[in-house]
Amino acid sequence: MDMVNKKLDYFVVDVFTDRVFGGNPAGVCLLDEWLPDDILQSIAMENNLSETAFLVKNEKTESIRASYDLRWFTPMIEIDLCGHATMGSAYVLFNSVEATVDKLEFYTQSGILTVERNNDMLWMDLPSRPATPAENYKCIKKALGLNEYKCYKSADILIVIDNEEDVKRISPDFQALKEIKEEAKMQGDNFVVIVTAKGTDCDFVSRVFAPNCGVDEDPVTGRAHCVLTPYWSKELDKTSMTARQLSSRGGQLWCNDEGERVKIGGKTVLYLRGQISI
């Protein structure tokens, strides 16, 4: 990889939380133009966050909204959808670049995504990814220590269990969990495994694992709620829900089922602003 002698504006924001050191930290890197993919991947590997977002402003929108091309990288691979780094990108733009707008468009591998701000909340519009029943894959019992569960599949794997305490207690064997790629015939490594249950002080809870992507446990996962929202909307017979992700950092989300789309809301705080020299 050739060094290109650039200084890149870089931020780390904690997403789906109202406090630093909570939620999911996202790296956000603003670019004037796209750099080679190997450099983007190296930056994400160096940052070693669940995802680093890279943005280049475009002129695709004809409205007053600002428009950006957006890509996301884990330390290992580029992925096709990342909610928390999209919200983190919007927070950076709203507060540092696009102070006069209240809505942003992002052009991504998953189509056009939008983020709006409403006071201290940001709301993302993402594609719904409903899951359909799947077999109870053998590696799930081995990897997660579960005997009773229901399994569903969409772009990701959804595991439904009986109660919140069992979600908290899971201690995964991540090497064994990687085997689900072959057993479930997933295409590539670009997927997560979601474990969920009905919540006690919210509508539903979850944890999310993505060892095939290079992220053993993701702290708070927007893309997972593209699967969770339609599932729990049907189960609970309601379209507006609250959710918590039960990682060690924890996070709070507001979820609206809107048919082919889901709206996911949350709060975000700035942790770091600086420059990357390459």
Same domain, 117 and 158: no
Q: What is the pLDDT of residue 2?
A: 52
Q: What is the pLDDT of residue 6?
A: 87
pLDDT tens-digit readout, 100-131:
999 999 999 999 999 999 999 999 999 999 99
Same domain, 117 and 236: no
Any domain includes 152: yes
Same domain, 86 and 187: no
Q: What is the pLDDT of residue 156?
A: 97
Which residue in this structure is represented by tokens 């490594």? 189
Any domain includes 194: yes
Q: How many domains does the chain have?
A: 2
Using the predicted structure, report yes or no on whether residue 4 has a pLDDT greater than 80.
no
Any domain includes 186: yes
Q: Encode burial over 140-178: b for 16+ CB neighbours within 10 A, e otherwise.
A: beebbebeebebbbbbbbbbbbeebebbeebebeeeebb
pLDDT band at 1 (very low <50, low <70, confident <90, very high): very low
Whole-number average pLDDT of the chain: 95
Same domain, 170 and 100: no
Same domain, 155 and 62: no
Any domain includes 1: no
Q: What is the pLDDT of residue 47?
A: 95
Any domain includes 102: yes
Any domain includes 33: yes
Using the predicted structure, report yes or no on whether residue 233 has a pLDDT greater than 70.
yes
Phi and psi of 236, rounded to 5°? Answer: -95, -10
Predicted structure pTM score: 0.95
pLDDT tens-digit readout, 173-224:
999 999 999 999 999 999 999 999 999 999 999 999 999 999 999 999 999 9
Any domain includes 234: yes
Quote the domain boundaries for residue 235: 132-259
Any domain includes 2: no
Q: Which of 278, 273, 247, 262 is nearest to 16 (CA)?
A: 247
Same domain, 80 and 136: no
CATH number for the domain including 179?
3.10.310.10
Same domain, 16 and 89: yes
Q: What is the pLDDT of residue 59?
A: 82
Residue 51 annotated to the active site: yes
Same domain, 239 and 198: yes
Same domain, 37 and 19: yes
Same domain, 136 and 253: yes
Out of 42-51, 70-79, 134-143, 227-236, least confident range: 134-143
At CB < 8 A and 24+ separation, what contacts does 7-10 make?
7/275, 7/276, 7/277, 8/43, 8/275, 8/276, 8/277, 8/278, 9/273, 9/275, 10/272, 10/273, 10/274, 10/275, 10/276
pLDDT band at 79 (very low <50, low <70, confident <90, very high): very high
Give me the catalytic one of 46, 51, 59, 78. Answer: 51
Same domain, 111 and 148: no
DSSP 224-274: THHHHHHHHHHHHT-SEEEEEE-SSS-EEEEEEEETTEEEEEE-EEEEEEE
Within 10 angstroms of residue 237's Cβ, the number of other Cβ atoms is: 7
CB-hemisphere CA count at 13 Å for 255?
A: 33
**Average pLDDT value for residue range 85-91:** 98
Q: Which run of H or E residues covers position 125?
A: strand 121-127
Same domain, 55 and 111: yes
